[in-house]
Amino acid sequence: MKINKIMPVLALVLLLSVSMFGCSTATSLTSPNTVSTTMTPAAAANVQPTETNPIVIDPVNREIRIAAKVNGTVFTQPTWHAVVYSGGKAAGASLFQAFISPDIFYSALTYFGGSPGNNMTTTNMNNTYVQGSDISITVTWNGAPKAYNLIDVVKDPDGANGKGIKMKFGGNLATNDSAGTGCISCFYSCPIGITSNSVYNNGDMTRQGAAGQAGFLGNQNVLPANGTIVVLTYKVTS
């Protein structure tokens, strides 16, 4: 099932005088169909995404910034969905509900040289961990004291002994599009998510569920209230 997408307005902070960005199902930022604005490199640090202008591609800082809202359900109900497109089938279970679709996000990662692992399947997900380029994620919001690493705003299902989060560019573009879940980032190595956590897999999730917490929880002591708009910053780091 493909996601019904509404084309966003994209703020592209580019070192080029003209930028062209594909907003249909795409594999690179060089596709021709575009809705974009260009800005000077000096302005890049001041540009933040919003619900109506939900992604900033910033080659000055080599980062992707997307707008999302907090889903307070995940303060009390564990999940393996970290960031999901708000129009996707899994949005209700995700800690952050983003305003961009996975194909646009995938294109942004490839723009910065990200290499997808494409090694996860529904048959190997119990004993395989995602591969691909390393991806860092931070989150901040209006009034936040700093930008937090993703692990700092969640509760690991294995507690203080947990392995944390090491995101990889898993890829899975065709599978993601067919599934219609909208998965952008998953807390476990996933055959659908564009990015996912390489230190946990489905077998770990099953074990954790038997122990009592089948997934990550949002940390209500750090995160803002349900519905608050946040900015998630992604970087390809290797």
Give, for all 238 residues of the chain, the pLDDT tens digit.
Answer: 555 554 444 444 443 222 333 332 333 344 323 334 455 555 655 689 999 999 998 888 999 999 999 999 999 999 999 999 999 999 999 999 999 999 999 999 999 999 999 999 999 999 999 999 999 999 999 999 999 999 999 999 999 889 999 999 999 999 999 999 999 999 999 999 999 999 999 999 888 888 778 899 999 999 999 999 999 999 999 9
pLDDT tens column, 64-104: 999 999 999 999 999 999 999 999 999 999 999 999 999 99
Strands 154-155 vs 217-218: parallel, antiparallel or unpaired: antiparallel
How far apart CA 170 and CA 186 sit, in angstroms, is 10
Q: What is the CA radius of gyration of the chain?
A: 17
Asked if residue 20 is part of any domain, the answer here is: no
Side-chain-side CA neighbours of 157 within 13 Å: the count stands at 24
Asked if residue 41 is part of any domain, the answer here is: no
Quote the pLDDT of residue 39: 56
Question: Are 205 and 214 a contacting pair, CB within 8 Å?
Answer: yes
Quote the pLDDT of residue 137: 98
Look at residue 174 and give its three-state secondary structure. helix
Which residues face 137 on adjacent strands? Answer: 234
Count of structural domains within the chain:
1
pLDDT tens column, 144-153: 999 999 999 9
Asked if residue 58 is part of any domain, the answer here is: no
Give the structural domain span for 146. 67-236
Asked if residue 40 is part of any domain, the answer here is: no
Which residue in the block uniquely carries the two structure tokens 């573009």?
173
Asked if residue 53 is part of any domain, the answer here is: no
Asked if residue 226 is part of any domain, the answer here is: yes
Length of the chain: 238
Asked if residue 18 is part of any domain, the answer here is: no
Look at residue 74 and give its three-state secondary structure. helix
Quote the pLDDT of residue 151: 97
Asked if residue 131 is part of any domain, the answer here is: yes
